[in-house]
Copies of this chain bind each other. A is one copy, B any other.
Amino acid sequence: MASKKNEKKSEGLSSALRVKAGPVDLSSFDPRATTGFSGTKEEGREALAALAPEVSDWQERLFAEGRKGGERSVLLVLQGMDTSGKGGVIRHGAGLMDPQGLRITSFKAPTPAEKRRGFLWRIRQALPAPGQIGIFDRSHYEDVLIARVRNLVAAPVWNRRYDAINEFETELAGAGITVVKCFLHISPEMQKERLQARLDDPTKHWKYNPGDVDERQLWPAYTEAYEAAIEKCNADHAPWHVIPSDRKWYRNWAVTTLLLETLQDLNPEWPKADFDVALEKSRVAES
């Protein structure tokens, strides 16, 4: 089983998209790449739909394990610039699974009460329970991204947070939470196109915020902050993946495949009956 596990890790899409240790230069990653997939857009969509039965089955196994005393869970962390598609991945990828086994949290700017409790407090509140797949739309990484770019806290404060995050994620690994971190990588040109599309479609106006353009002006500073976060917090037990996200269909397929590989790697088994099956069969028959 250990060897099967290693084999899996070294061959899948996870390892192909995994960011290697060392300095990170996002300009060396192509946001239009389709790593690990050779088909067309239409084939990509079909491939995503075809993952549904398998990913649902593994999800249910993990869920069943959690119901019967297992402590393991999965946490998918989604980060990326505005319009990179965090919500789209949840809708089209996580949407293939049973919503009963998901715990999805979308983090907005922290409230004053949340700030007083330290930046990891609200994150801990939202962790997946045993058997669940947790999904973070934004996360504790915002506290070294927007907090750094916008000077929301002093430099020594955000600087200490990288260590705090590493300690926190080590703790999660010890608690049976498998953390999978994905940076949805888009080009500034694609962001412009998507913001324009939102403005052109009245049914998408609610998704648009004039502040998005202000953030967009800070693209280089955000890129630098992402590079620092990915480099400093990229442990084996909580690896970063760069997901090429200019093509929505590839992005959705890739993140869902990562989730599937993670579940396969955990390899949860159907819990054994904790009762006498023959006896229960006769009790039901007589009832």
Contacts and interface: CB of A to CB of B under 8 A. Distances in A.
B287 A213 contact: yes
A210 B280 contact: yes
Nearest to A196: B284
A124 interface: no
Contacts of A209: 275
Nearest to A201: B270
7 contacts: A68-B206, A90-B99, A90-B100, A91-B100, A199-B281, A203-B270, A213-B284
A111 to B, nearest CB: 14
A23 interface: no
A90 B98 contact: yes
A223 B202 CA distance: 50
Contacts of A104: 99-100
A145 interface: no
A31 B100 CA distance: 25
B216 A287 contact: yes
Contacts of A217: 287
Interface string A191-232: 010011001001101111110010011000000000000000
B100 A98 contact: no
Contacts of A280: 199, 208, 210, 213
Contact of A205 (B192, B273, B287): B273
Contacts of A281: 196, 199
A15 interface: no
A91 B206 CA distance: 29
Nearest to A92: B98
A106 B99 CA distance: 12
Given A100-B104, A216-B287, A284-B192, A270 B202 contact: yes
Given A95-B97, A202-B273, A208-B273, 5 more contacts: A64-B206, A91-B98, A205-B270, A208-B280, A213-B283
A94 interface: yes
